[in-house]
Structure 1
Amino acid sequence: MEYIIIAAAVLLFSLVYFRIANHYHIVDKPNRRSAHSEVTIRGGGVVYPFVFLVYLAYGQIFSEVHPEDYMLFGLGLFLVCAVSFIDDLRGLSSKVRLIFQFMAVLFLFYFIEAAPNTPAFLIPVAVVVTMGVLNAFNFMDGINGMSGLYSLVTLLSLYYINSSLTAFTDADFIVYPAIASIVFLFFNFRKKAVCFMGDVGSMGVAFWIAALAGTLIIATGELKWILLLAVYGVETVITIIERLRLGENIFKAHRRHLYQLFANDKGYSHIAVSAAYAGIQLVINILVIFSDLAGSVLIPVVMVLSVAAYVLVKRQVKKQISGSL
């Protein structure tokens, strides 16, 4: 019953936000780089900071959640979401965004107590990787259902790990963003989306997932859990390398991602492409969860196979596109 009430609250909040967004023209207008052709509400991902407030309020009243325990997480979440929402509205320079993302990640690291549990020389690497995760979600949020469905698969995988393998956090701290993802997908995972996640949503859910994954890695001492984000990681890194090689600004909009080639150039439906990405990540998650291989073996094996498969598929798709021109 609790989760139905939370879902209803998130749904109501979304409907109110849609009215406000329409009134103030917080919309995404399609351009030549867009994967859509309709004017659509932007910033639907505000459900993630909202559901965090609901988590604190409901938890304090009906369970043993103590808001002060989540203060650092909340500061980081609202910092990155606020800056991202401003960027959705008026646009900010990449330098400004990175500065605030860095500050938010520091709050996240204090929240998960990374410093006492991580060798000092690895902290800068972990900060860079975490900022990379945030921006990977932002880069990949380009077609209907993509980041909403991918986030849901990741959160449900984390929930299974937490409930069946290693209890590393309060279960509701995973369930609430999953509920927000389901409500968002109701409006987004369709041929003609009612709203887009926006930077506020992609950064918000990425920050939440990064906090959960970081907590899990510290609790278990296993780096293999980073593979729960393997699909986004592989595509983002390879695409960035490709764009740097071509001398492009990696923070500018583009259409070089494989999912963009499938959706825009090959004409596959957004629903099918998003479901395929989430499905591939789910298969990897199942392998990671149930495999007895140590992380030192599993990580390179999965990453090498993923990179090889991605490169081969992308090369073939590009050939097909070039041949049809």
Structure 2
Amino acid sequence: MLILWMTLVTFITAFILTGLMRAYALKKNIIDNPNERSSHTIPTPRGGGMAIVVTYLSVLIILLCLNYFSITIGFTLIGAGLAIAVLGFLDDHGHINSMIRLLIHFIIAGSIVFALGGFSETVLFNGHVSLGWFANIIAILFLVWLLNLYNFMDGINGIASIEAITTVLSIGVIYWGLNTELMYQPLLLLAASVFGFILWNFPKAKIFMGDAGSGFLGLILGVFSLIALKDSAALFCAWIICLGVFIVDATFTLIRRVLNGHKMYDAHRSHAYQHAAQKYKGHTGTSLAVCLINLIWLFPMAYIASQKYLMPELTLLIAYIPLIVLAVYYKAGNADYDQ
């Protein structure tokens, strides 16, 4: 009953704070003006994701006080989340050099991996492959990539919020059904925080999330994924499956653009989801399609991985095949998209 009340209060708080952030952005002229690389056409306030940050960090403090987390996990989530949010907030107000921003990302990611005790004991493929110390390097790269790709994928109304809500609710259901020490309650409250924001952002955006919100969500989801890896590779695979739309689109797009000679941090609108929004002349259908893919395809595959009905890594591959096909079909990474 306590969690249900906390969920309601969390949603209401995030909704109100988003409205206040919109008023603040309008007053301070923090506006995202459309350009040739934008997927929107109307100048819109940005930075609304700070409502998610403030709401959820407050929730995490309460959960920590109620012993839902160990002190280590609680402080890792709160400290790293706050650091990324502040960095994104400053970037929303004034551009920060991309290399400096990336260096800070690596420092924060390395600190998280250290705080969680490292991942040298990680084994994959039903215990047949041990990554040893190299697993720590992969974990750092994973965190940095996830928080950045979440920013890259936050390009049309509602898509970043829908990805977060469907992912954490799907994993929450899996946790609820498993005999695991990992708890679904923090995930439910994260969904409530994001849901309070999305009502301002979808189907018509009155405010954008901004780097503070997207980076925060990417990092928090990444940390939760690594916490799951501490429990089992199967649960980690479940997380990666649920995040598949973002991971596949962003990774496929980046690889193709680099192979075509573009710089990694050049602004563009050549992701598959952006091409889909262009093809169907609107954001709503594309964002809802992501929701359906997550619920109808990726959630069942994540459940199969978590239950080990198939080898989790094989299930991950199977889950990603249609996503790769979609990335190819919508010419992800191709700047010269032909409808």
Q: TM-score by structure 2 length?
A: 0.86
RMSD of aligned Cα (Å): 2.3
Paired AA for residue 122 in structure 1: A
- Identify the range of structure 1 (165-174 vs 123-132) with the bigger mean alpha-carbon deviation: 165-174
- Identify the range of structure 1 (135-144 vs 271-280) with the bigger mean alpha-carbon deviation: 271-280
- CA–CA distance in structure 2, aligned partners of residues 157 and 290 of structure 1: 12
- CA–CA distance in structure 1, aligned partners of residues 119 and 337 of structure 2: 48
2:67 alignment partner in structure 1: 64
Matches within 5 A, 1:37-116: 37-59=41-63, 63-65=66-68, 68-69=71-72, 70-115=74-119
2:17 alignment partner in structure 1: 13
Q: Does 1:210 align with 2:222?
A: yes
In the TM superposition, residue 42 of structure 1 has moved relative to its aligned partner by: 0.6
1:244 alignment partner in structure 2: 258
- CA–CA distance in structure 2, aligned partners of residues 60 and 75 of structure 1: 13
1:199 alignment partner in structure 2: 211
2:233 alignment partner in structure 1: 221
Which one has a larger percent helix, Structure 1 or Structure 2? Answer: 1
- CA–CA distance in structure 1, aligned partners of residues 64 and 233 of structure 2: 30
Q: Does 1:181 align with 2:203?
A: no
- CA–CA distance in structure 1, aligned partners of residues 57 and 251 of structure 2: 33
Change (3 A) 1:122 1:262: same
- Identify the range of structure 1 (253-262 vs 52-61) with the bigger mean alpha-carbon deviation: 52-61
Q: Does 1:295 align with 2:312?
A: yes
Paired AA for residue 250 in structure 2: T
In the TM superposition, residue 12 of structure 1 has moved relative to its aligned partner by: 2.2
Paired AA for residue 227 in structure 2: T
- CA–CA distance in structure 1, aligned partners of residues 302 and 162 of structure 2: 19
- CA–CA distance in structure 1, aligned partners of residues 164 and 62 of structure 2: 23
- CA–CA distance in structure 2, aligned partners of residues 141 and 211 of structure 1: 19
Paired AA for residue 299 in structure 1: L
Preserved CA contact (<8 Å) 1:187 1:194: yes
Preserved CA contact (<8 Å) 1:75 1:104: no
- Among 144, 150, 173, the alignment partner of 1:160 is 173
- CA–CA distance in structure 2, aligned partners of residues 66 and 306 of structure 1: 34
Change (3 A) 1:293 1:92: same
SS at match of 1:37: coil
Preserved CA contact (<8 Å) 2:153 2:246: yes
Change (3 A) 1:289 1:185: same
1:306 alignment partner in structure 2: 323
- CA–CA distance in structure 2, aligned partners of residues 139 and 167 of structure 1: 33
- CA–CA distance in structure 2, aligned partners of residues 57 and 296 of structure 1: 34
- CA–CA distance in structure 1, aligned partners of residues 71 and 180 of structure 2: 21
Spell out, residue by residue over 1:14-36, the C-alpha distance to the aligned partner (whole angstroms, 9 max, x if none): 22222222111112111121111
Q: Does 1:27 align with 2:31?
A: yes
In the TM superposition, residue 57 of structure 1 has moved relative to its aligned partner by: 4.5
Spell out, residue by residue over 1:195-253, the C-alpha distance to the aligned partner (whole angstroms, 9 max, x if none): 11111111111111111111112212324222222211111111111211221122121
Gaps of 5+ in 1: none
- CA–CA distance in structure 2, aligned partners of residues 301 and 23 of structure 1: 49
Q: TM-score by structure 1 length?
A: 0.89
Spell out, residue by residue over 1:160-216, the C-alpha distance to the aligned partner (whole angstroms, 9 max, x if none): 12211243434332122111110111000113x111111111111111111111111
- CA–CA distance in structure 1, aligned partners of residues 162 and 231 of structure 2: 26
Q: Percent identity?
A: 24
- Aligned residue pairs: how many? 317
Gaps of 5+ in 2: 123-131
SS at match of 1:188: coil
